[in-house]
Structure 1
Amino acid sequence: MPLPPSRSMVLSPISFRLPIPMDPYVAGGTTRHSGRPDWVLLHKSARISGHRNSTISGCHTMEGHPIEVSFWLVDPPGVSYFSVHCPGLNKDFHDEPYIICAEAALVLFSVAFVPVPGRRSIQHFVYRAGPGAPALELIPDPDKIRRGDRFGLLPCGDSEHYALVFLNRKFAYNKPCRFDLHIFSSATQAWSSKVPSSCLSEDDQALLLNHGTCKSVMVGDGSLGWVDLFSGILLLCDVFGECPVVRYITLPASRTRQTDERGLPYFASEYCCNVSCRDDGAIKFVEIEFDDPDRRNRGNQGWRAIIWDRTVTSDGWSQRFRVDAANISVDPSYSDLLPELWNGKTGEPELKRLIFYTPTLSKHDDDLLYMMSKVNKEDDKAWVITVDMKREAVEAIAPYSTKGRQLTSWHCPCTFPKYIDPTTSGEVMLSLLSLRYLLVNYMCSLHYGQY
């Protein structure tokens, strides 16, 4: 039987207003639901809010304005959130702050302000959960780096320092692709540049022309991969070495980009997959194979979840799991939480009755798969479902509000909570920032004649 529901506090999913904490309860599951989780499914978009907790840390923007961040954490399959607050500037956000990547104790996010003269419109910040008290740092943004999504994070061993990596591609007609590597060191607080060598075949070069990065992953201790879920992984090996090397790893054949009758690439309609990496450097890939991919958004059809893995040096992918939805057992008690699972004809709950979106693999357990689902695609409410692939059983279900949110890239699996030291958490920082917040509000009120 499932465990009792968890009652943990997270923010309302509606941004640009002061959120009211609410209870998302997690039905079932064998994972613990007390204290701080070891890893989380972090929603990529921030909430603009002055709410704070002990994860808080702050610094200043490029123009010297205070900025602070807090994280609101629950065990998966519950969805965690983060909030950003800039006293006096909260109406100046052009869009919600957004997670770019997260590795170990580190989280990189960008903040987009409304463009005004004298202010950098997009600024990048790194939150470090440990060692020591949480810290937030503004990343200097040299002009030679073009805006893009090819950022990655690499921790420097067990120290508090890290490297922020940006890989720039240069294309020239009828010439191989060239790369420039830019590295920011938290130890030196400076950027440096390298020119990596290339181990790309002609086929790799062709794939790279249409490579669109959707996420970055740390592969082992010193390598980074930029993932295109339609084709492969652009891999940068030995970042800290004298001569880093660029390689390309194609995804399993079922994910190869297709071409139409005119020879133009197109995106296969059965797109529903994801990539992650284990701490030992093994790369994991999950895909959902639907009976009728053209009507995937309607639900009520069969599907299979397939998990592959490989290393950087292996010849190809090995299939670890292949589980049919029809064989995944669902405890009848889940139908109390989600009645639409129930099939009146068979007298049993069935997963195939739901619509499924982007899958996610656990950061700690290779057997667990997390899937976002809906009853109807128009619903504002969704459900994150944990499937134990080894046991072929649903382990837990958690509700999630999708109002105003896209489900193609909704989350970022993060392990930073386990690095937060409760003895050096942000309680003191929280008190200082609260005092500063009151002073800033008071000064603003004097300026606008409210006192």
Structure 2
Amino acid sequence: MDRRQRHPPTSTSDGAPLHPSLLLNLQVDTASDGDGNDTTASCRTSGGAHDVQVTLFAANPPGVSRLQVVRSAGASAPYIVTTEADLVLLGVPASADSARTRSGYDYFVYKLGAGEKGASSLELLPGPVPSSLSLDDSHVGILRRRDSYLIVALCYTSSPGKYDLHLYDSKSGGWTTKQASLDQQQHMDHCHVNRKVITVEGDAGTMAWVDLWHGILFCDVLHEEPRLQHIPLPPPLLPTRELGGCPRNARDIAVINGRIYYVELQIRTMPGSSSRGSYISDGWTVAIWSTSATGPWHGDCWHQDYKLDASEITVGEKLVHFEGVAEPTLVRLQTGHPTLCLHDSRVVYLMAKVDYQDEKAWVLAVDMRNKTLQAVAKFTADRVPGFCFTYTHTRVSEYLKMQI
């Protein structure tokens, strides 16, 4: 008999139904033992000596959901490679000795399900992974098909405009590689650096590799000779901004209900406050653009849906009496430098600290259309160095069909 304690993941503590999309913490919890719930699944490691157990602990946004991995080996933490539809690709250290490099990891596909006929599962990817491939969310995405999936990675080569397209097919259980080329009529005036992968889908299996500073490379990965199409992102909110460093704190992109949505956060610096890379924030602006997920794509295909200045945000009716949170959080939100995540077509989630003396933060749901602070939730950032980008949008909860 299974004696694990059950914690149904399809409802919240107040009985509200689980939202079809979640904010998933990229920092994976680890344990040597732990309770499961109806999303729990397990699998043997590649060496066959140990079990790995994975469980989703879900929370409605702006609460942040988390994965827990229970395993008996490995000194380094597991990590989330990417997520798409009901699938999460995880890297887990194969042993304590081999965990110092990514080559010492086992890779598992965690498929979410619930109920007697749709239990969650955990599958070990057969090795080896192509030697030139780095499994991380800046290069790797998942194309979900009816009864299978492809893990797809776009990697640079030494030839300009030429890329290696690595594909793992769950049906064959093996990797193949194709050559993908940028159309010769297109020209990029910058070096494209992959920062995020989005799955557009369609009959051709369209996926996109996004340089969040500059533009998007679209690719029909199911074609025998896939071609790449480049489109630029909308111009930055601050035209004179020098684009450099990691953009993940201030820019995000997602496919939502048949459209591609892109969001940018631009922080204003108080004049004279910049010194050695630090500054004092004087507020910020955030904007959302969108374009069709079916194309055609070109430089002026983007439409600006919303633009909001921090000073315009008011507290929503549900938060007026949320004592000790709403007003301090709103002040911190309006004058600080939050991190950003796009969740749906009109709501953005920002993480901000009210008190920089501790490791607590607030995740804030801002309704761009109504210009309101819609909801807040506490977040513990004790394992996030520098308080940076730490969670991502996922639709895995849409596939949890367990009755409650």
Q: TM-score range by the shorter chain?
A: 0.7 to 0.9
Between the aligned partners of 1:257 and 1:201, the Cα distance in structure 2 is 27
Give the AA of the match of 1:132: G
Q: Deviations over 1:385-442 (max 9, x none)?
A: 111111111110000011121443201211111212326x9xxxxxxxxxxxxxxxxx
Q: How has the CA–CA distance of structure 1 residues 101 and 33 changed in structure 2, closer, same or farther, with 3 Å as cutoff?
A: farther
The alpha-carbon deviation at position 351 of structure 1 amounts to 5.6
State the distance in 2 between where 1:256 and 1:63 align: 52
Alpha-carbon distance between aligned partners in 2 of 1:354 and 1:302, rounded to the nearest angstrom: 5
How far apart in 2 are the matches of 1:134 and 1:85?
Answer: 15
Quote the residue 2:390 is aligned against.
410
Equivalence for 1:111:
92
- Corresponding position: 1:139 with 2:128: no
C-alpha distance in 1, partners of 2:199/2:246? 27
Counterpart of 1:314 in structure 2 is 297
Task: Give the superposition deviation at 1:335.
Answer: 5.8
Q: Is 1:290 matched up with 2:275?
A: no
What letter corresponds to residue 304 of structure 2 in structure 1? Q
- Structure 2 gaps of 5+ residues are 1-6
Work out which of the residue numbers 233, 236, 241 in structure 2 matches 1:254: 236
Matched, 1:53 2:33: no
Gaps of 5+ in 1: 1-8, 11-23, 26-31, 343-348, 426-451
Matches of 1:334 and 1:216, distance apart in 2 = 40
Contact 1:370/1:384, CA 8 A, preserved across alignment: yes
- Please give the secondary structure, in 2, of the residue aligned with 1:302: strand
Aligned to 2:4: none
C-alpha separation in 2, matches of 1:141 and 1:244 = 25
Alignment pair present for 1:358 and 2:339: yes
Describe the superposition over 1:323-371 as per-residue Cα deviations: whole angstroms up to 9, x where unpaired.
12222111463661326628xxxxxx64645523321122xx4111111
Q: Deviations over 1:100-156 (max 9, x none)?
A: 211111111212343449x96122111111482211111123353424131110001
1:97 is aligned to 78
Which residue of the other structure, out of 207, 213, 220, is the alignment partner of 1:230? 213
Q: What is the SS of the residue equivalent to 2:89?
A: strand
Q: Which entry has the higher C-alpha Rg, 1 or 2?
A: 1
Counterparts of 1:334 and 1:397, CA distance in 2: 13
What is the aligned counterpart of 1:386 among 341, 365, 372? 365
Aligned equivalent of 1:448: none
What secondary structure, in the 3-state scheme, does the structure 2 residue paired with 1:301 have?
A: strand
| 2:378 aligned residue | 399
CA distance in structure 2 between the partners assigned to 1:255 and 1:204 by the alignment? 21
Out of 226, 246, 253, which is 1:275 matched to? 253
- The structure-2 alpha-carbon separation of the partners of 1:268 and 1:401, relative to structure 1 and needing over 3 Å to count, comes to closer
Percent identity for Structure 1 against Structure 2? 27
- 1:436 corresponds in structure 2 to none
Range with greater deviation from structure 2 (385-394 or 131-140): 131-140
Separation (CA, whole Å) in 2 of partners of 1:48 and 1:200: 48
Q: Is residue 244 of structure 1 aligned with residue 223 of structure 2?
A: no
Match of 1:165 in 2: 152
Supply the AA of the counterpart residue of 2:109.
Answer: V
- Contact kept, 8 Å, 2:46 with 2:124, in 1: the verdict is yes
Q: Is the 8 A contact 1:325 1:351 kept in 2?
A: no
TM-score by length of 2: 0.81
More helix by share: 1
Q: SS of the residue aligned with 1:171? A: coil
Contact 2:253 2:261 in 1 (8 A): yes
Once the two structures are overlaid, the 10-residue window that deviates more, 188-197 or 320-329, is: 188-197
Quick one: distance in 2 between partners of 1:274 and 1:299? 23
Q: Number of residue pairs matched?
A: 371
Matching residue's letter, 1:229: L
Deviation digits for residues 227-264 of structure 1, max 9, x if unmatched?
232222233x221122222222322221799898xxxx
Q: Given the alignment, which residue of 327, 337, 355 partners 2:312?
A: 327
